[in-house]
Amino acid sequence: MERVLKDFEPKKVFEYFEDISMIPRPSGKCAKIADYLCDFARSHSLSCYRDENDNVLISKPAKNKDDKRPTVILQGHTDMVCEKSYDYDAKHDFTKDPLRLCVLDDLIYAKGTTLGADDGIAVAFILSILDDDSLDLPPIEALFTSDEEDGMKGALSFDVSKLTGRYIINLDHEVEGELLTCSAGGKRVKCCLPVSYENISGRGYSIVVCGLTGGHSGMEIDKGRGNANLLLGRLLHTITKNMPYSLKYIGGGLTDSAIPREAKAEIIIDEEYIDTLENIVEKYSRIICDEFEGIEENMMIYAEDQGDDEAMCLTADSKRRIGFLLNTIPDGIIKMSRKNEGLVRTSLNSGIMKLTDSEFVLTVNMRSLAESEKDALSDKIEYLTEMTGGTYKEEYDYPAWEYVSESPLRDIAFDAYQRVYSKNPALKGFHAGLECGVFFKRIEGVDIISFGPDIHNIHTPKERLDSASAARVYDYLLEILKSIR
């Protein structure tokens, strides 16, 4: 197979990045990438531990057995968010098919899908370091965690007693030049409303909201992008105020950690309301496109006639309760930080909605730098769900990585940045959740930093890795490791 990245430097970094891009690794399906990592360890005669959740720990001692430098933990996650363009190959299966890497100038992307540079480039960095015996580095513990994108399940389940290091370098950031000092905690919940059906006949219509930008529900939540699920809910409420209809289907979004780009409803109406419906949707489309002017330039909202239809549709009460939830649940930024200008403190994303034979489920991701605010928001959503006649289910809850005023590792990284870049890094808090919070909570005395190269539009099919940035950040990482004494 012809290598797409064969001319990129550092060669080993991009060789490993291309290797892992050929390995399917959606959340919950990390066995194949774990196999690859274990094979790597065996071929390089390195100590390797793999747990039942496909977390992998590879250890490499310093060259000199009498080396007194502290052990450094290099950490990244192996899974990726799997999204594809609505017009891309419908047969592409993220559990079986490799990514199709492409290059445009210095930018690396995957044709029609997410790239998985979040956090594939971290895995490539770490493997390249483990592979290079010419480097004089402190002892390394390379921790590759599974299922980070699904509630950090790998990090939460990993036996941290296997780690001897207390310096952790997390490589799961996407803005070069920023040195992270803290990150948000998060919680995923499901709002489940019981539903019932009745047989309805009439004219069928599909109502579609698509073409939105989407993005990471932590990193891009401050961009004011549209949430397809809630925009569809608002449109259905507008229709409800103007004409009768029956709701056959509603669904949207693919993952709770991504702002949903597409949502769809199927409805049945009486023939006499065809013109009314089409006029409502056309007017709503103009209004919403105007509201999101300059933000969602490719958004489309339309109604498509499906002809005569007869199907089981939601009862009026079921439809009303779904509409109430979609139009009252908080969305986006809840509170900004008072101490750090431009930093989101608390937010909420309604990432997935699904309708089954028995219930409507809205999966919500909430994040906060403050545990108390996260819990208060959780209580609010629980109350709203139960008042709507539903049940509230927590699926995961991970802690925040709190800022500490004294950090020897941060000082080393700051000085190394000055040497490599001839300027100071930006010390930043981070609204997205990082596994740093899990290790901060579970390992006494741990000292953590996080950084990474420029990756644009993560969690979307427009994801792009800046290869030149990756090369610079790799050099920076090596400078930090060489500076640790």
Q: Which residues are catalytic?
A: 79, 148
β-bridge partners, 172:
none
Which of 473, 426, 455 has the alpha carbon at shortest distance from 126? 473
Alpha helices in 228-273 (DSSP H): 228-242
How distant, in Å, are the alpha carbons of 74, 129, 434 from that of 43?
20, 15, 31
Q: Is 26 helix (H, G, I), strand (E, B) or coil?
A: strand
Token pair of 228 as six digits: 């397809």
**Is the Cβ–Cβ distance between 437 and 181 less than 8 Å?**
no
- In the numeric block, the tokens 């669904």 are attached to 251
Spatial separation of the C-alpha atoms in residues 368 and 102, rounded to whole Å: 36
Q: Name residues whose C-beta falls within 8 Å of residue 15's C-beta, 6 or more positions apart in sequence.
A: 3, 5, 6
The burial of 267, by beta-carbon neighbours within 10 Å (0-12 exposed, 13-18 middle, 19 or more buried), is given as buried
CB atoms inside a 10 Å sphere around CB 342: 9
Q: Name residues whose C-beta falls within 8 Å of residue 66's C-beta, 6 or more positions apart in sequence.
A: none
Phi/psi region, residue 45 (left: phi>0; alpha: psi -120 to 50; beta: rest), is left
Q: What is the enclosing helix (H) or strand (E) of 119?
A: helix 117-131
Q: Could you tell me whether strands 197-210 and 300-314 are parallel, antiparallel, or unpaired per DSSP bridges?
A: antiparallel
Which of 464, 479, 467, 441 has the alpha carbon at shortest distance from 183? 441
